[in-house]
Amino acid sequence: MATDTAEAVTAGQFWDRHVRSPDDRVNWWSSDACTAAYNEQVCGEAVPGNSRGCRIALAAAAGRPLGRGVSVGAGAGDKERALLLDGIVGEMRLWELSERRAAEARARAQADGVGDRLEARIGNAFVEETGAFDLVTWDHSLHHMPDIDAALAWSVARLNPGGWLMINDYFGPNRLQWRRDEVQLCNRLLDEIDRTHGTSLRRVRRSNILTRLRMHHRDPSEAPHSEAIAAAITRHLGAAVKPVGGLVMNILGGIVVPAFPENHPAIAALVAADRAALATGKWHFGFTLWQKPA
């Protein structure tokens, strides 16, 4: 949650303009093949569904339904709503900067019959939230925080003894500014897809000072300190991050997935390249599940 008021307003306005239908095919998380590969790394089961592997891992670790959960930067609340629908958590409180996303979260919860168990608030959770919870979840939102250490300290403080902290997030380059080797790897795959399928997909560009400034102006909350998250988790939790891949899927998902149907060989090639990158230690996403001592 942005602490600078001006940046918080800018970030909220940016995300107000980016409320999508859950059926939109826009990136890797819109692909069953991609999410199944991701989930297999998280929980050992190759099941489709965005963050479904995280829910499976949490339910197995907790061994019982949890009472109240809280999520910061929850967007339209699809993953948090799924926690309710799967019976993993009884109630969820969401914090957002985007009015439109919070409204969408309420509407979708109401449509799914869990509107009375999902609350979406607008504001600074680090200042306004003083409750105690059985679950604190960061699902692709921790990398938006301007102070990772403060966010993790807050998370631990908000947990009841025996409660769970679940982090499923982006750990890649700050501001989504891809490294040279990452760009080369992904463009080689695009070359292969174009040759094989007769397409002409756009290529990934290397980052520079202008792309970094443009990203900050567009959304000041986008990955300001993502590279520091893993070390911060170790400092605050004494826990390690489990790499789950996502480098190739993350960079190329928005190019490849919208261009092909789900059963197309190009989607399979995207998944295979991502797995190969993870096998060589190249990844963007990681998973951590930690229980607060009782």
The reported pLDDT for the residue numbered 232 is 98
Instruction: Flag residues of the chain having pLDDT under 70.
Output: 1-23
The reported pLDDT for the residue numbered 208 is 87
Sign of CA dihedral 58, 61, 66, 71: negative
Rounded to two decimals, the pTM is 0.91
Q: Which residue type does 146 have?
A: P
The reported pLDDT for the residue numbered 215 is 85
Q: Which domain holds residue 155?
A: 5-291
Q: How many domains does the chain have?
A: 1
Alpha-carbon span 67 to 226, nearest angstrom: 30
Burial class (CB in 10 A: 0-12, 13-18, 19+), 239: middle
- Give the Å distances, CA to CA, from 41 to 45, 189, 197: 8, 22, 29
The reported pLDDT for the residue numbered 15 is 41
Identify which of 245, 185, 289 has the alpha carbon closest to the alpha carbon of residue 46.
Answer: 245
- Give the Å distances, CA to CA, from 3 to 27, 149, 239: 29, 13, 26
Q: Which residue type does 154 have?
A: W
CATH number assigned to the domain comprising residue 55: 3.40.50.150
**148-178 residue pLDDT tens:** 999 999 999 999 999 999 999 999 999 999 9
- Give the Å distances, CA to CA, from 26 to 37, 52, 219, 267: 17, 18, 19, 13
DSSP string, 175-233: GG---HHHHHHHHHHHHHHHHHH---PPPPPPP-HHHHHHHHHH-TTSSSSGGGHHHHH
**193-220 residue pLDDT tens:** 999 999 999 999 988 888 888 888 888 9
**Residue 97 φ then ψ, to 5°:** -100, -20
Task: Quote the tokens at residue 73.
Answer: 């930067």
**54-71 residue pLDDT tens:** 999 999 999 999 999 999
The reported pLDDT for the residue numbered 3 is 47
39 in helix, strand or coil?
Answer: helix
Locus of tokens 């991609």: 34
The reported pLDDT for the residue numbered 13 is 53
